Each structure stands twice: as C-alpha cells, then as structure tokens.
C-alpha cells in the first residue's frame, strides 16, 4: 500500500453514522455491553489509523 492510499482512506458514511449513533446511546446510558465494546474497538482502530496516517505523511513528503 502506498502512503497516498493510507492518507486517502476514510471510513464509509454508514460506518461513521453507526459509530456516532453508538456514541449517542452510550452518552444517554442505553448502550449495551456489546455496543460499548464495539465503541472501544472503533476507537482503537481510529487510533491506529491516525498513527498510520502520520507515518504515511512522513513518507509521502520525501
């Protein structure tokens, strides 16, 4: 995968909407344990992607 490919990566609109609906459920206290675990997984993936994009940005500008 080229650095440019990583920098261009975006979650789908559907994934984005699902994530924010889960966050809203967590905020109001109606999220299930499974939904809370999914939020944690989303957050972990987001963190990894931010790190990957930071590294890709370094390589893309060389």
Residue ranges, the chain, pLDDT below 50: none
pLDDT for residue 61: 75
pTM of the model: 0.82
Domains of the chain, residue spans: 3-60
Longest dimension (CA), the chain: 47
CB of 3 within 8 A of CB of 59? yes
Tell me how far apart the terminal alpha carbons of the chain are, to the nearest angstrom: 16
Task: Give the chain's radius of gyration (CA, Å).
Answer: 15
What's the rounded Cα separation, in Å, for the pair 57 and 3? 7
């Amino acid at each position: 995968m080229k650095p440019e490919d990583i920098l261009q990566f975006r979650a789908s609109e559907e994934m984005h909407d699902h994530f924010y609906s889960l966050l809203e459920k967590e905020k109001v206290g109606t999220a299930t344990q499974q939904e809370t675990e999914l939020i944690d997984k989303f957050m972990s993936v987001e963190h990894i992607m931010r790190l990957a994009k930071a590294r890709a940005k370094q390589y893309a500008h060389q």
